[in-house]
């Protein structure tokens, strides 16, 4: 995997609620420049965005209150790279039947909130992640969702041993049901930085 070179790349972490600080630390440890995003102008200034874990209902409400929802949807349509983790993954799903408000959307998939019930609502497991060098990825699931259905062109990036889907990539969008920001392993943050870099190159070659 290529080293992240940050000088002209700025990655935002949506900082309305949830564990955004941990994502910032992981991005910085991966060699990227990163900022917390709460305003329209901050969202306009970044090359890609991470939506952290937290509470999807709260984040969905605050996205509207902070006037970010329409801009985010608009940018996603224009291939802006976004990575949703846990609650963030719920918000990127076109369909989240048990969320009581609209998602941001972008990935044609259905996601089920709190899919692992109360007894095992937190667990850890090793995953084989698509195109990730260096062996299995140790994933931490906390009151995690599960991707229950995907459109044919959505790429499955990781499954549990029983075949249930817990990570997908759909062009400029990535969604993981687990929490990559609370481990020491920065490989997925590096993967996202690579995705953002590729989209930035594509965009500048179009101008």
Placement of tokens 């290529």 in the chain: 2
Q: Which DSSP symbol is given to 180?
A: G
Query: Catalytic: 86?
Result: yes
Among 35, 62, 130, 142, binds ligand GLN (CB under 6 A): 142
User: Residue 127: which of 140, 143, 142, 116 has the closest Cα?
Assistant: 140
In whole angstroms, the minimum distance from the beta carbon of 2 to ligand GLN comes to 29
Contact in structure between 194 and 2 (CB atoms under 8 Å): yes
What CA–CA distances, in Å, run from 57 to 27, 92, 97, 193, 203? Answer: 25, 13, 12, 27, 33
Site string for ligand GLN, 86-105 (x = CB under 6 A): xx--x---------------
Question: Choosing from 23, 177, 179, 189, which is the catalytic residue?
Answer: 179
Among 12, 48, 53, 106, binds ligand GLN (CB under 6 A): 53
Question: Choosing from 22, 23, 86, 189, which is the catalytic residue?
Answer: 86
Could you tell me how many residues of this chain bind ligand GLN (CB under 6 A)? Answer: 11
What CA–CA distances, in Å, run from 152 to 74, 85, 94? Answer: 23, 22, 14
Any contact of residue 143 with ligand GLN (CB under 6 A)?
A: yes
Rounded Cα distance between 98 and 137, Å, is: 29
Task: Give whichever of 25 and 114 is closer to ligand GLN, judged by the CB atom.
Answer: 114
Any contact of residue 13 with ligand GLN (CB under 6 A)?
A: no
Question: Choosing from 181, 184, 189, 194, which is the catalytic residue?
Answer: 181
What CA–CA distances, in Å, run from 83 to 10, 34, 117? Answer: 14, 14, 24
**What are the beta bridge partners of residue 137?**
127
Any contact of residue 55 with ligand GLN (CB under 6 A)?
A: yes
Element (H, E) at 10: strand 10-14
Any contact of residue 54 with ligand GLN (CB under 6 A)?
A: yes
| Residue 31 neighbours by CB distance under 10 Å | 16
Chain residues 157-186 in contact with ligand GLN, contact rule CB under 6 A: none
Task: Give whichever of 20 and 197 is closer to ligand GLN, judged by the CB atom.
Answer: 20
Query: Catalytic: 124?
Result: no
Q: By CB under 6 A, which span of 26-34, 67-75, 82-90, 184-192 interacts with ligand GLN?
A: 82-90
> Which residues are at the interface with ligand GLN (CB under 6 A)?
53-56, 86-87, 90, 113-114, 142-143
Return the active site residues: 86, 179, 181
């Amino acid at each position: 995997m290529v080293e992240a070179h940050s000088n002209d790349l700025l990655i935002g972490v949506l900082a309305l609620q949830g564990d955004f600080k941990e994502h910032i630390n992981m991005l910085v440890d991966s060699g990227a420049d990163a900022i917390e995003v709460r305003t329209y102008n901050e969202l306009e200034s970044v090359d890609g965005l991470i939506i952290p874990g937290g509470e999807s209902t709260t984040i969905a409400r605050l996205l509207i209150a902070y006037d970010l929802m329409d801009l985010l949807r608009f940018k996603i349509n224009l291939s802006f790279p976004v990575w949703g983790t846990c609650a963030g993954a719920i918000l990127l799903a076109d369909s989240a039947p048990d969320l009581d408000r609209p998602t941001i959307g972008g990935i044609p998939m259905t996601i089920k909130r709190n899919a692992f019930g109360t007894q095992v609502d937190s667990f850890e497991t090793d995953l084989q992640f698509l195109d990730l060098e260096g062996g299995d990825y140790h994933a931490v699931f906390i009151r995690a969702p599960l991707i229950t259905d995907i459109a044919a062109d959505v790429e499955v990036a990781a499954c549990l041993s029983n075949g249930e889907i817990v990570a997908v990539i759909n062009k400029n969008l990535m969604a993981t049901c687990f929490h990559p920001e609370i481990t020491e392993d920065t490989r997925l943050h590096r993967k996202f930085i690579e995705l953002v870099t590729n989209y930035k190159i594509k965009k500048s070659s179009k101008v």
